[in-house]
Structures are given as C-alpha cells and as structure tokens.
Structure 1
Amino acid sequence: MIAILGAGKMGEALLSGVLRAGRSPSELMATVRREERGALLRERYGIEIVSNRDAAATAETLILAVKPQDMGALLDEVGPHVPPGRLVISAAAGITTGFIEERLPEGVPVVRVMSNTPVLVDQAMSVISPGSHAGEEHLKLAEELLAPVGKVLRIPESLQDGATALSGSGPAYFYYLVEAMVDAGILLGMPRAAALEMVIQSAVGAATMLRDSGEHPVMLREAVTSPGGTTISAIRELERHGVRAAVLEAIEAARNRGRELAGG
C-alpha cells in the first residue's frame, strides 16, 4: 500500500502517474486538508482518502508531498505512528533527510525526491537521494515508483537544493521563454495561435535533438548560426541584455529561496 500525504498539485501529479504506471487504486491512499478536495480525488481516481495517522500506520510506503513549511507539523503528527521498516519518500523542496529522520522512529529509511510537473505527461525529471538509513533496496523502490513517469537520476543530497532550482522549477523557465517568443511573434505580425504553434514545435524539436543526438548544446546552436545571419544577430541581442547571466542568477535565487522556505 502506498500513501500520499498531502495530495495537492504535485501530490496529485505523482498519484496520477503511479496509477498510469499500472498500480490499482486499491493500492493507493491519500490524505488532504479539505473534505471537498478528498471527495474530488476519490471520485477522480477511486482511491481511499484517510487521515494522516491512519496512512502512517497502514501504508508500506509513505510519500510526503506537503509544502516545505508544513513538513514539521506533519512529521510531529505522524512520526509516532510510523512502524519500523516502512519507507518514507519526501517530495518537499529543501527538507533534508536528516530533518525527517529526527522526527521518525529510529532506523526508518528516508529517500528524498524532487520531481517536476511533466510527471503529468510521463516526462518528469526526478532526482533521488538516500538518507542515512536508506539502502540500495529503498532507492530501487523509489525508482520503480518514479521511472514509469519519466527519468530518474541518483544524486548526492548536497545537490538536491540545486536540482530543485534547476529541474524542479525548470519547466516554468521554459514556459516563460515560450511566452516571450510568442509575444515576439505577435510583435512581428503573426496571429497568436500560429506563433504559439511554431514556438512549441521548435521547442519540442530542439529538445528531441538535444536528447537524441548526443551533441553538446553549443554545437547544435552553432549549426543554426550562420556568419552574418539572422540567428547571430538575435544571439548578440540576448548577450547584450545579459540573458545568460540572468538565467544563472535566477536559478541561484530559486535555490536560495528553497532553503529559506525549508527553514521556515
């Protein structure tokens, strides 16, 4: 039995992904704050909605998907009810495995996970890190849950905050860029729908080439950049406006904000 504690947006995304991967609704349960939210999830997925304490006492695998600032209160509530031998998977940004282990019975294995919203279309990027009591078998269990809905990468926990900023929030950066490119198309006289279709397909094609070609992004960009041509003129403007530096600083700011939220 798998329990998702805190079935908000990301919790529901993980829930729907696990179901699409072949799990039966009878194998899952979830917890929510509001009754109407529970009724919606029950109707939509056919799963059982239970209390946090019942989930902690019943499920073999607990996925903690609450907001970082709510994790302490959740662990205070469920910690005494988690039996030894259960696997706890945390999907909360910035929360360390040590923070969780301190609030659970001795020896409970914890795996820290950061995924992203493309889990909804089985294209998530999930990164996982073991706590001090988690072994190979626990990492494999986490991978088995996440692999059907995207890629899974093991990283040291010291890199988790950076991964949250880079890939956890990453889709939003791409959507932001798409917005700007569509607006540019409109500025150039194109209908919004046509501009959006062109930008989306360009993004999909570029991402597929990056993934499948094995080429470095610099090489792929240079292949489009002719001497004295249109692309290099655009690149010059991006560099003149400091876009590269802005991206570096933005992702660093996301990392820092994640740490602030985790610290309360």
Structure 2
Amino acid sequence: MSTDAPDLSGFTGTVTFLGAGNMGGAVLGRLLAAGLPPEHARVTDLADRTRARWEEQGVSTGTDNPEAVRGASVVVLAVKPYLVADVLDEIADELGGDSIVVSLAAGVTLATLESHAGDGVPVVRVMPNTPALVGEGMFVVTAGRDCTAEQLEVVDTLLRACGQTEVVPESQQNAASGLSGSGPAYIFYVADALAEGGVHEGLPRDLAVRLAAQTILGAARMLVESDEPASTLREQVTSPGGSTAVALRLLDEGAVRYRMSAAVSAATRRAGELGA
C-alpha cells in the first residue's frame, strides 16, 4: 500500500476526465490541489454547471470525448458503469499504447475495458470511494494485461493525491467495492444512529453530531496506527460489567455484526451485477 502524498506540480502528461460528477470531480479536485497544472487537465461533461466549475480553475472542458482524449497520457472513465463500453467505443480510435485508460466504474471488468479500448491499450480498473474528497480515499487497483509497471506507477502516483492505494487481483475487486466502495455509506449510517442516540439521551443535536464524528475519526485513526486488530481494541474499551459491555451485548442481540457483514456481501453481489 502506498501512503505518501505526491507533488504533481512536475507532472508533464495530460489527464482527461470523461465525466466529472461526484467521484470524477473529487479525484480531479484533489489532483489540482496536489499541484497538477490546470493546463494538463481536461474534462468532458454534458452539464454546463459542471464545465463552468472547472473552467474557473483553468481546466479545458468540452463535450467531445474523442477530441478530449486525443494525445492524453491518462484517460479517466468517471461515467456510470452501463455507459463505459459505449464511451470506450466512441474514443477507441484516439487511444494507443501510450494512453492509460483508468476506469472508476464499479463492476466493469478488465475484459470489458480491454475489448472496447482496443488491442494494446493499457487499462487499469479502480474501485474508489468518496473520502477522496478530503484526501482520505481508498483506491483498490488492478492493472490489465497491457499495462506496464511504469504505467501502473503513473496511475498510483495520481491516485495517492486522493488517499491510499492497494493493488489486488481482479477476483477481489467486487469484494473491495462491497467493503470500501460502499463502506462510507455504512459509516455515515452508524454516525447518524450514534448521534440520534445522543439526542434521545438529552444531548443537543449539533453536539451529538460532533461527538459521533470525532469518535469515528479517532477510532479509525487508532485502527490505522495500531498494530492491534479491531477485536483487541474493542476489548480494551470494554470493562467487564461496564456500560460498553452492556451496549455491545445489545448490538449482538440485534445481530448488528452479522448484518454489517451481510451488507458487504450484498453490495459485493450487486457490484458484479452492475459490471454484467
């Protein structure tokens, strides 16, 4: 896993984003914040408001996908999964061995990317998540057969401007989607429930929200920085017969642990369906 944030001010290639909605926009915003020169970025999007946002930052925009990818060193597909094949068919004539195609679309396989991008075009399948907005994204990466180690390193460098990266075999991609891709929604769900509990017990809502958010942030930092597994860290907080023990017993009676695990499995299956 790569952890160091790069300085992109010296990046000499051109990065084209086909689509700049929530995920594509988050990644592009972090690239610019990491120093990517705006003149080295291009965006195509059908929404006037989206294009205006990037034009204000000096990024070239438009609606013509083939024109936008012409000469680009990295092409980021940030469109809905069902649009990926059509978009690749549209731009295939402009791609070559020097253009790295990076897909952020859940479930879309390397086989699909390679068959529509064309022979010899290097492709990389990536499962991102929304904390990329604040530079704490998790990007699970799989390179296609024509992607060299040097080209994969280019992609890794760009993504590290937005968070952390992990390279995995493609067989693990859908599970990564179910866990880290959908995972922020699970945490927001928990945060909302914690805050609601605090309000029920008399805390002002704004205070309850802050307590829940900081508690989750602090616990996550402990997980990242500690060598101990989550189960051990949980035990360290749980005194025998104490309030935490009572709370955890209630969660176990409600099968919350099982339901969280089952949620990851359900999201994993759905990621595979989206790719199909």
State the TM-score, normalizing by the size of structure 1. Answer: 0.96
Distance in 2 between residues matched to 1:82 and 1:257, nearest whole Å: 30
Other-structure match for 1:97: 110
Post-superposition CA distance 1:130-181 (Å, at most 9, x none): 1111121121011110112211111111101111111111111101000000
Post-superposition CA distance 1:10-39 (Å, at most 9, x none): 010010011111111000001102233212
Q: Does 1:246 align with 2:247?
A: no
Mapping of residues 195-214 of structure 1, within 5 Å: 195-214=208-227
Other-structure match for 1:223: 236
Mapping of residues 41-60 of structure 1, within 5 Å: 41-43=54-56, 45-50=57-62, 51-60=64-73
Distance in 1 between residues matched to 2:91 and 2:109, nearest whole Å: 17
Q: Does 1:162 align with 2:146?
A: no
Other-structure match for 1:151: 164
Other-structure match for 1:132: 145
User: Which stretch has the larger CA shift, 52-61 or 179-188?
Assistant: 52-61
Other-structure match for 1:25: 38
* Aligned residue-pair number: 262
3-state SS of 2:101 partner: strand
3-state SS of 1:256 partner: helix
Distance in 2 between residues matched to 1:168 and 1:121, nearest whole Å: 15
Give the number of the structure whose residues are more often helix, by fraction. 1
Other-structure match for 1:194: 207
Post-superposition CA distance 1:91-148 (Å, at most 9, x none): 1110011101101221111111111111111111111111111121121011110112
Distance in 2 between residues matched to 1:194 and 1:89, nearest whole Å: 41
Distance in 2 between residues matched to 1:196 and 1:180, nearest whole Å: 10
> Match for 1:65 among 70, 78, 83?
78
Q: Output the amino acid matched with 1:94.
A: G
Distance in 2 between residues matched to 1:178 and 1:188, nearest whole Å: 16
Give the superposition deviation at 1:209: 1.1
Distance in 2 between residues matched to 1:129 and 1:80, nearest whole Å: 24
Distance in 2 between residues matched to 1:85 and 1:40, nearest whole Å: 29
Q: Is the 8 Å Cα contact of residues 108 and 274 (structure 2) preserved in structure 1?
A: no
Q: Output the amino acid matched with 1:70.
A: L
Other-structure match for 2:196: 183
Post-superposition CA distance 1:20-74 (Å, at most 9, x none): 111110000011022332123212x220013211122231110111110111211
Distance in 2 between residues matched to 1:168 and 1:17, nearest whole Å: 18
Which structure 2 segments of 5+ residues have no match?
1-13
Distance in 2 between residues matched to 1:196 and 1:252, nearest whole Å: 29
Distance in 2 between residues matched to 1:210 and 1:34, nearest whole Å: 40
Q: Output the amino acid matched with 2:188.
A: Y
Query: What is the root-mean-square deviation of aligned Cα atoms in Å?
Result: 1.1
Q: Matched residues, percent identical?
A: 40
3-state SS of 1:148 partner: coil
Other-structure match for 1:258: 271
Give the superposition deviation at 1:262: 2.0
Q: Is the 8 Å Cα contact of residues 17 and 77 (structure 2) preserved in structure 1?
A: yes
Q: Is the 8 Å Cα contact of residues 111 and 138 (structure 1) preserved in structure 2?
A: no
Q: Is the 8 Å Cα contact of residues 28 and 47 (structure 1) preserved in structure 2?
A: yes
User: Which stretch has the larger CA shift, 172-181 or 82-91?
Assistant: 82-91
Other-structure match for 2:94: 81
Structure 1 outlier segments of 4+, above 6 Å: none
Which structure 1 segments of 5+ residues have no match?
none
Q: Does 1:107 align with 2:120?
A: yes
Q: Output the amino acid matched with 1:100.
A: L
